[in-house]
Amino acid sequence: MHLDIYGDTLTALVTAATLSSTGHQVTLRVPAGQVADDLDAGRMPYQEPGLEAMLDQQQQAGRLLAGSADEMPGDRVEAVFLALSPAALPFAESVIDQLALRREHSWLVVNQSNFPVGTTESLQQRLRDGADAGVDRAVIVMPEMLQEGAALQSFMRPSSILVGCDSDWAEVHIREILRPFNRLRDVMRLLRPREAEFTKLAINGMLATRLGFMNDMASLADALQVDIEQVRMGMGADPRIGEAYLYPGCGFGGLNFSRNVMSLADTLESSGVGSELLEQVLLINERQKEVLFRKLWQHYRTDLHGKTVTLWGAAFKPGTGRIDNAPALKLLDALWAQGVTVRVHDPKALPTLRAHYGERADLLLCDDPYEAARGADALMLVTEWKDYWSPDYPRLRSLMAQPLLLDGRNILDPDFVRSSGFVYYGIGRQ
Amino acid sequence: MRSRTGVPADTVWQQLTEHAASLQDIHLAQMFADQPDRFARLSRRAGPLLLDLSKQRLDGRTLDLLGKLADSRDLRGWINRLFAGEPINHTEQRAAMHWALRVPAPQPSPVQQQVQEQLDRMSRLVERIHARQWRGVTGEVITDVVNIGVGGSDLGPMMVCRALEDASDERAVRTHFVSSMDGSQVSGLLRRLRPHSTLFIISSKSFTTIDTLYNAGTARAWLQRTLGDDPAVTGCHFIGVSSATDKMDQWGIPRPNQLALWDWVGGRFSLWSAIGLPIALRLGMQGFRDLLAGAHQMDEHFRSAPWRDNVPVLMALTGVWNTNILGIHAHAVLPYDGRLKYLPAFLSQLEMESNGKSVTRDGEPVATGTCPVLWGEVGPNAQHAFYQLLHQGTEPVTCDFIAPARRYHEGRHDAAAAELLAQHELALANCFAQSRLLAFGEAALPPGDQLPMHMRYHGNQPSSTLLLDELGPFALGALLAAYEHKVFAQAVIWQINPFDQWGVEMGKRIATETLELIKRGTAGGDMDSSTNGLIDAVAGAVDRRRSFRG
């Protein structure tokens, strides 16, 4: 089949690579932005094992083409995938509106984006408006369930495929498109579109709640002088709980956990429905993003004026240069409000930070992590990049004005850090 | 004893008395019948404010004579002295320069520079709190601000915050007000707040007000129980607003958390100063500056408009006419807008604390009555309470009806706009109907059968209506300044000093003496028999409770 994929997410790239590898003719249309720039410059925007090779292979085979996101699919295209970032809903709507204008054309649109619950149905309504009688049109939703680090495998050998679809015609087509990945046994679960979207929200919500709960436990652990690491391992050993998503830290960021994704679409929201628990989880997370600031504030007895603080890491997670909802943003605002100069190192996010804040005297972006620590009254480890797991403590000690280390990701050993001459604060660590 | 309606023997007063006699038998309904354009003749506009005097028992000649009275009392000269900053509060040797707080920047005088400097400081505090960057001692963001003050340091900010809640800044934090000496407000509030994220404003011009300092002490102890007694707790959780820097220092408030005001601002005139910090926190600085701008426009109007068009002066002279010539000694303030809930209490303080005096500037007993008893309530609610007395009681009462012409026309109310607009129209209809019934009595009713006596309305009760374009910061500033200047103009007519309040000092002093006796557990016969008896009864109640508990 001829398939067009709009998107700049990891899902877009994985979908393009895997579907073309099974013989589909795929056009990948990446909207302007960082990801498009990376691809144009021959850089891989996502560090995903095997992805780059597979994309190259398919391009060479002529089954995968790069197209412009400003252009519409050709007449032979039978399905359009939307694998966009949550913020790109207006773009998705404009694509749908342009497809809708072609009155005689049948369209299957597969929404893989993390939009609020209810979006797929409203997109379908838009797509069907004004279509000629007898023309089949549907928007279905296939929430992304990729495991980062094993994304290709999880797409091609899924333990389940969640599809939200209310049209028999669309079901026939999506089954055909995904047939190569659904052979051993039928793992496709069909739900109504909003049920599928809601499942994705519930998964994200559960993960966020686990993290929020652990952060809450870490605060208690601080107060009770209990080491949260021991507690975390004890909890994780219980099979009813499991080990995933139990790491306390200085807050999670990223678009999937943003307020608009964690909410229902406006149409539903006006009915007054909302999740109190998720509201609280997101609130607690916002508070948690300032936890390192609070520890610093108390350490220096409420006077931070004129101090210098180093941030290691600004991206919302390792492996990306993105800073959407990242804890570093809240820390920067909090520190600047107290008259602190901040020196930041991040392997990938410095250009994004520079673009976000522009030039300012109290922000220094450093390409070298040790250069960033020079003269600092505190070092805050904010993103757990591999680069930071084994610091050269004597070197840090000699560069910094005060040996104070705040570990927002609990990746260092408190005893070893202390024996290296530092004051150490973790998240619930002793 | 002085007759409250007795007037001095000078010519203008006599002319007014004679004129009143000539109007005495003319019912308000008749005045409207005789003069079809009465509203046009007897209503005035100043900026966002419309003053309708047509339902007062007066005519054009009354206003002329009242203008002569103002001239004979040298009102023009006193206004000039007020705005020249002369020490017209002579018993305290101070100027009364609340008007200077609302002169827009930039003005070169030293006073204006001080005012602007404090506004700038206020602006920085507000910005820091609104940006969620004011930190408690544990580094938490401040989410609740509690204003601790009493009298002018409480009523003014609380009244304005409530009145302008629709104009809230979207970044505003929650604001609370605590004033009562007995601790019931503060203890109820503290149960609902978290120490880590609560900031207190101690608002006291002298920083010696016992009510406020006790409440502040309770608040500090509450913080320290959770957060420890490090001095940084006070430093992070208290802002002080006072003219007594040294006393704020002693209390432990760091200099950057101090806002200043000056001797030349009276407490009940101080919401325009740093005492208005809770207002700025609610409205944002722009909203606060709009409030000042509205008041400033009224200042300029008061200084320059001729008596016949001068809204505050006409409010003052009408009040003098009603009190001194018609002999009406009660005045009700009736806002037809729930947001103005605290306005009657605010105006009670403004008028009664200012003009509840009986000694002239020369130290002589006053020749005329002064401030009437003033009270009020949100009009539609008062209709179900004391309006019975207004319509059919034996005590005549004058009324100020206050209402905004427009409401709910903005997008922010969109969801329920239609219903709320209907409610606003209903309130306006009630406002106009009540003043009409008070003025016209049965003449306002459709002609028909003779009513039985107990259902009759005599009417002829005078009232003014103040219609605001809408209730926003600018219009409210103008309204409040109009009342301030009304009070001043009346004080000039009555030849009293409106800016002192010696009548409230002595009670505080003898309370200190009484407190010792209560703590001692017995009056021991040192006081009058009533006080002795009451103190002993308290001691008896305490003893009985102890013995019940065994």
Q: DSSP letters along A26-91, please? A: EEEEEPSSHHHHHHHTT--SS--TTHHHHHHHHHHTTSEEEEETTSPPPTT--EEEEE--GGGHHH
Paired sense of beta strands B258-260 and B330-335, if any? unpaired
| Residues A27, A144: Cα–Cα separation, whole Å | 19
B367-385 pLDDT, tens digit per residue, is 899 999 999 999 999 999 9
Burial class for B332, CB neighbours closer than 10 Å (0-12, 13-18, 19+): buried
CB B335 within 8 Å of CB B464: no
Min distance B138 CA to chain A CA atoms (Å): 6
In order of B377, B422, B435, B459, B549, the CA distances from B385 in angstroms are 9, 23, 16, 18, 43
CB contact A269 to B (< 8 Å): no
What tokens appear for A320 in the block?
A: 């990306």
The three-point CA angle A388-A394-A398 to 5° equals 105
Q: Which of B90, B409, B458, B508 is catalytic?
A: B508
Q: Which residues of B touch A301 (CB under 8 A)?
A: 230, 232
Q: How far apart are CA B318 and CA B326, in angstroms?
A: 10
Backbone angles phi, psi at A213, to 5 degrees: -65, -45
B152/B101 Cα distance (integer angstroms): 15
pLDDT in tens, B463-493: 999 999 999 999 999 999 999 999 999 999 9
What's residue B2's pLDDT? 43
DSSP strands (E only) in A156-226: 161-164, 188-191
CA distance A425 to A429: 7
A137 and A106 Cβ atoms separated by less than 8 Å: yes
**A290:B141 CB<8 A:** yes
Between positions 304 and 363 of A, the ones with CB within 8 A of B are 333-334, 337-338
- Beta-carbon separation of A301 and B135 below 8 A: no
pTM of the model: 0.87
- The span from the CA of B17 to the CA of B13, in Å, is 6
Catalytic residue among B384, B454, B505, B516: B384
Is residue B27 annotated as part of the catalytic site, yes or no?
no
Q: How far apart are CA B495 and CA B487, in angstroms?
A: 12
The predicted structure's pLDDT at residue B543: 80
Q: How far is B289 from chain A (nearest CA, A)?
A: 24
Which of the residues B351, B353, B377, B484 is marked catalytic?
A: B353
Q: How far apart are the CA of B246 and the nearest CA of chain A, in angstroms?
A: 23
Residue B255: what pLDDT? Answer: 95
* Residue that has been written with the tokens 């054009």 in this structure: B60
Distance between A337 CA and the closest CA of chain B, angstroms: 6
Inter-chain touch A297–B138, beta carbons under 8 Å: yes
Compute the average pLDDT of residues A314-342: 93
Q: Return the SS3 of B45.
A: strand
- The answer to whether the Cα torsion of B89, B92, B95, B101 is positive or negative is negative
Give the mean pLDDT of A133-152.
88
- In this predicted structure, what is the pLDDT of residue A267? 57
Residue with tokens 């001459």: A421
Return all residues near B540 (Cβ < 8 A) that are at least 6 apart: none
CB contacts of A334 in chain B (<8 Å) are: 133
CB contact under 8 Å between A298 and B138, yes or no, is: yes
Cα–Cα distance between B127 and B133 in angstroms, integer? Answer: 9
Interface of B with A (CB under 8 A): 128, 131, 133, 135, 137-141, 230, 232, 235-236
Which tokens in the block code for residue A271? 């009915």
Please judge whether A338 and B133 are an interchain contact, meaning their C-beta atoms are less than 8 angstroms apart: yes
* Chain A partners within 8 Å of B139 (Cβ): 290, 293-298, 302
Average pLDDT (A272-289) is: 85
Residue type, B25: D
Which of B133, B230, B232 lies at the smallest CB-CB distance from A334?
B133
Measured between alpha carbons, how far is B224 from B7 in angstroms, rounded to an integer?
60
- With CA atoms as reference, report the closest residue to B434 among B382, B479, B395: B382
> Is B508 tagged catalytic?
yes
Strand, coil or helix: what is B304?
Answer: helix
DSSP string, A122-170: HHHHHHHTTPPTT--EEEEE------TTSHHHHHHS-S-EEEE---HHH
pLDDT bracket for residue A145 (50, 70, 90): confident
C-alpha separations of B437 from A80, B135, B285, B426, B448 in Å? 72, 56, 42, 16, 16
The amino acid present at A66, given as its one-letter code, is: A
DSSP reduced 3-state for B201:
strand
> Can you tell me the distance from the alpha carbon of A89 to that of A91, in angstroms, rounded to the nearest whole number?
5
Q: Among A319, A297, A306, A283, which residue's Cα sits nearest to residue A376?
A: A306
Strand, coil or helix: B142: coil
Alpha carbon distance B16, B6 (integer Å): 12
User: Is the CB of A294 inside 8 Å of chain B's CB atoms?
Assistant: yes
Q: Which residue has the tokens 């960033």?
A: A372
pLDDT of residue B501: 94
Provide, as residue numbers in chain B, all residues whose Cβ is less than 8 Å from the Cβ of A290.
Answer: 139, 141
Three-class secondary structure assignment of B151-200: HHHCHHHHHHHHHCHHHCCCCCCEEEEECCCCCHHHHHHHCCCCHHHEEE
CA gap A65, A67 in Å, rounded: 6
For chain B, the residue count is: 550
pLDDT at A147: 78
A338 contacts on B by Cβ (under 8 Å): 133, 135
CB A117 within 8 A of CB A203: no
Put simply, whether A271 touches B (Cβ < 8 Å) is no
The DSSP-derived string for B410-423 is: SGGGGGGHHHHHHH
Q: What interhelical angle do B473-494 and B277-304 show, nearest 10? A: 60
CB atoms within 10 A of CB A298: 14
- pLDDT < 50 stretches in chain B: 1-4, 550
The whole-number pLDDT of residue B456 equals 85
DSSP, res B392 = H
